[in-house]
Structure 1
């Protein structure tokens, strides 16, 4: 690090220390004490001995992977269109990708309530097409939650891939085509390896956002679908079990961090880094 730039970093470091490191350390202390303040490991022992809590943890991680999979399926055509687009069209694609981020996740989540509601456009279209006998709500199930989270997190996957594409050599696909490779072979052997670092970076962001999105999970999933963010809220806001909630929060943080570190390590693999 250049020592001349250190004074400019000090405000950011101080803010990170006060707003992240210290609260996280305090949360860690709470997770190792009981309600009377005595040191104990009972919070973690109770957590790993409870099948319900373990099932909630598994469901939360599974939700993150499902959202990553659906977001990838949606992002791939967009990134391929960006690859083949002219500079003017690329600017339009970037603008349309950034446009949803101008509103908060809360606003986008409540907009989906209207879309998926009993009187929403999807329900009415199903009735008009004869695919449903009467209007019905499409909310409060995991399928709807995965779709909504995929739409909300989509820019976090598309933008890193676009950044990789923007600085990539367009002559690679032309050379492959000159050598007789067809469109599918170019996609598999040239484009996908080139986009892989961007996808891996985006998967880290999408997974983290999907597994920790309390508002969207609560509003779209409803009370029947319980994930760790809602579980932590119940422990704190309903049962007032701060030590137990701190332990659950640390388990969620550790589980998601390990998965994100694995994705980050994969993105830094020499074979993939060579395409970035």
Structure 2
């Protein structure tokens, strides 16, 4: 008889319960603690403030914009990998993995130089005549989106490469023989085959962007407040831990619902057939 694999999963399950499930359960329980015992006052205090709701929407908006940006950048790179030879493929993989080997804090502070008034973006705009004086993209949503796209770009490139590596080039050859042009081949053949990788990348990018406290605080600044910064303010400045727990739960539910929706789409039988 074949032995069960349950004993090998037991250590992983124990670690998950101790270091993930239990702290999460404590967080949820703490979010319901009020002055008079168990209540919903923390959630009503958060949801009743229009500023907090705007911060939640800004966090979702940042994640969506980053997903769009990384998609527009990641698809051409993945297609270049698919059409290249072995040496070029190794270079693309190497360049995609290098940013992931560098600390997120280091990359964030490097972007301070890039987005500053004397940085390359400002100098390029001056040289091209788009502006008459140096400009700074620091503490702007545009600068933050650019930074998050560079930081999270490998999270969408690698799933796309993994999916395209299994694509048979005879499919595109057959479409070209049938008279399809490059754009039609991409839209009708390659894009449907790339959807599982795209959905996986969207999940990773959105989750990473919406929870990136350091980058949001350094590049976004005090004028662009997002949910992780709001939680930090309640914990480290106002010391209102129950309200901070409620905000964290709202962040988990809002972003988690989007991630679950993407996961459900990714598990659709038609997409699974392409994977």
Category of TM-score, reference length = shorter chain: over 0.9
Measured after TM superposition, the shift of residue 109 of structure 1 is 0.6
**Structure 2 Cα separation of the partners of residues 137 and 3 of structure 1:** 63
CA contact (8 A) 2:74 2:153 kept: yes
Measured after TM superposition, the shift of residue 3 of structure 1 is 5.2
Aligned twin of 1:178:
177
**Structure 1 Cα separation of the partners of residues 91 and 7 of structure 2:** 39
Aligned twin of 2:137:
138
**Structure 2 Cα separation of the partners of residues 114 and 37 of structure 1:** 50
CA contact (8 A) 2:75 2:160 kept: no
Secondary structure, in 3 states, of the residue corresponding to 1:168? coil
Is structure 2 residue 216 aligned with structure 1 residue 217?
yes
Q: Deviations over 1:133-188 (max 9, x none)?
A: 33332200000001110111100001011111111212110111111111111000
Change (3 A) 1:56 1:183: same
Secondary structure, in 3 states, of the residue corresponding to 1:134? coil
Is structure 2 residue 42 aligned with structure 1 residue 9?
no
Aligned residues: 274
Is structure 2 residue 30 aligned with structure 1 residue 30?
yes
The root-mean-square deviation of aligned C-alpha atoms, in Å, is 1.5
Change (3 A) 1:168 1:130: closer
Q: Deviations over 1:182-207 (max 9, x none)?
A: 11110000000010110001000000
**Structure 1 Cα separation of the partners of residues 51 and 124 of structure 2:** 38
Unaligned runs of 5+ residues in structure 1 are: none
Ranges of 4+ aligned residues in structure 1 off by more than 6 Å: none
Unaligned runs of 5+ residues in structure 2 are: none
Secondary structure, in 3 states, of the residue corresponding to 1:244? helix
Q: Deviations over 1:227-276 (max 9, x none)?
A: 11100111111111101010010000001111001111111112222211
Aligned twin of 1:208:
207
